[in-house]
Amino acid sequence: MNALSKDVIPSGTKRSSLAALNDWVAEVAALTQPDAIHWCDGGDAEYAALIAQMQADGTLIKLNEQTHPNSWLHRSHPDDVARVEHLTFVCTTDKEDAGPNNHWMSPADGHKQMDELFAGCMRGRTMYVIPYCMGPIDSPLARCGVEITDSAYVVANMRIMTRMGAAALARIEREGSFVKGLHSIGELDPNRRYIMHFPEELAIKSYGSGYGGNALLGKKCHALRIASHQARNEGWLAEHMLILGLENPQGETHYIAAAFPSACGKTNLAMLIPPEGYRRDGWKVWTIGDDICWMRPGADGRLYAINPEAGFFGVAPGTSEKSNPNALASIQHDTIFTNVGVTADNQPWWEGLDHGTPVKDWQGRDYAPGNGPAAHPNSRFTVSAKQCPSYSPKAEDAQGVPISAIVFGGRRASLVPLVFEARDWTHGVLVGAAMGSETTAAATGAVGVMRRDPMAMKPFCGYNFADYFSHWLSFDKPGAKLPKIFHVNWFRKGDDGKFLWPGFGDNLRVLEWMIKRVKGEVDAIDTPVGALPKAEHINLDGIDLSDEARTKLFGFDRNGWRAEFASLEEFLGEFGDRAPHALKVEQQRIAAQLD
């Protein structure tokens, strides 16, 4: 490790302008007592040294160089494979500011508990200091942070997922502010594992986990929980959304931001390949981002968005030539795989792949179907966004891209149709607040349980949801040219339990209808819950839908929606007087129409 270790701010940096950072690093070193300190520069030599070190100590396993050059497998501890929402806290001075949507602890108690865990925890280890930027390095929408960690695996992943190193440090020097993230893998003991957020201090402390969402602090911790708090104070939005560009045959591109809970198809939609007929006609989909979206009103009143991330931390199982050929193409080289299986010739393997046979499972055991899946259901790949064939050159635009439509959606086996449009912004905010989805393997706990997940932000909003809804409503002001809001449900099932909509590339047919609505080219069927498409306005050429599918995908179940809105009233009631009056009025208006 000596080749990597250095314990001072890099030469050429003005020490006076980074005194706060240097003081904090010294303070953390005194607490954690590492053997060495390494300031990360993000360079190729540094990365190569890290990879070599991790290969030597078994943290990374080299994959088949012929089929997957410069790619690696990491196996995490079997008890450390997903986000731990029940151990994730928001520490605000006033408990009400965290809201019923978060686990709360006072800042004093949070710091005390974490600092007791951190005391001496890096003895025998190297402490890495990672300056990073979330968003294009020169974007006014971007924000910087510094993560301190004792995990080389985290450093390697942060290099892929953020703009890390010297350029970020230079921006921190210019701006003088940054989010502080302190992480240690600790002993990987589930009983000594906590992720604490201090939004009022722009600080994060994470202990006892090496898993992505718990350890890559630029991701969910900074880019959503802390950033959502920053965004509220500064007049923008930090959202759990993909961003894609839909280019029509005339060369006109509309940008869409879409919120889905984890493992509900965000990456698939972000990298969508149009159906053959659409491709022949000249339609294209451009990928800006697959998971997080920061939006800010521009001078023209429109919302402009950036993807704060530089890479994809995608779910591997189900990624295939059929479901997401662009994702599959992206991860053929220079990729870190986590908790997937491997074949006899050392290629990565997961359930849903079109070829290959696993011989080892995600824990390194000989694969046997009786032991469960070869790849963990939440196994991941980390790869640079620039490796995606559909990666948009606009992804690096400093000002972001203008958003024409915002889409909400979740896994709903019943009731919710394929697509509907909100009547106006207030109704759209209610649609987002009402979002429900069946839980997936991306979080610990039972899978397939229906829960409310407003804007897909339940695990990620860094403050009271009632205040978050009010913040969304605040964007509707004179001069604003806000996107239309839609809701989709790719997961509606028939009586036989099978999906009624083909999904994947065919979801473009629904996006096309949305853009027609944005441009005012087609009318729609008004219902109390929103505007439904007329069957003739969605291009179904080449799709064979049964009568049941047509009825359920494009229909309106008044009785079912009546029960849904009664449930929604209870949900809004959980936030008491803090819930925005406008949303309660909107819920009651629609409920009255349903009656």
Helix, strand or coil, per DSSP, at residue 197? strand
| pLDDT at residue number 11 | 47
Q: How far is CA 34 from CA 56, 126, 127, 192, 205, in A?
A: 20, 6, 6, 19, 17
- pTM score > 0.85 for this model? yes
β-bridge mates for residue 297, sequence order: 303
CATH for 238-311+392-594, among 3.20.20.70, 3.40.50.10540, 2.60.40.10, 3.90.228.20? 3.90.228.20
Domain ranges of the chain: 16-60+77-235, 238-311+392-594, 312-384
Give the residues of the chain that fall short of pLDDT 50.
1-3, 5-8, 11-14
Homologous superfamily of 312-384: Phosphoenolpyruvate Carboxykinase, domain 2 (2.170.8.10)
Annotated catalytic sites, by residue?
264
Cβ within 8 Å of residue 43, ≥6 positions away: 165, 166
Per-residue model confidence as pLDDT tens digits over 385-414 = 999 999 999 999 999 999 999 999 999 999
Distance in angstroms (rounded) separating the CA atoms of residues 553 and 532: 10
Structure token digits, residue 24: 């904090």
CATH number for the domain whose boundaries are 16-60+77-235: 3.40.449.10
| pLDDT at residue number 2 | 36
Within 10 A of 580 (CB to CB), how many other CB atoms are there? 23
Per-residue model confidence as pLDDT tens digits over 458-515 = 999 999 999 999 999 999 999 999 999 999 999 999 999 999 999 999 999 999 999 9
Sheet holding 341-343, edge to edge: 348-349, 341-343, 358-360
Cβ within 8 Å of residue 593, ≥6 positions away: 528
| pLDDT at residue number 148 | 98
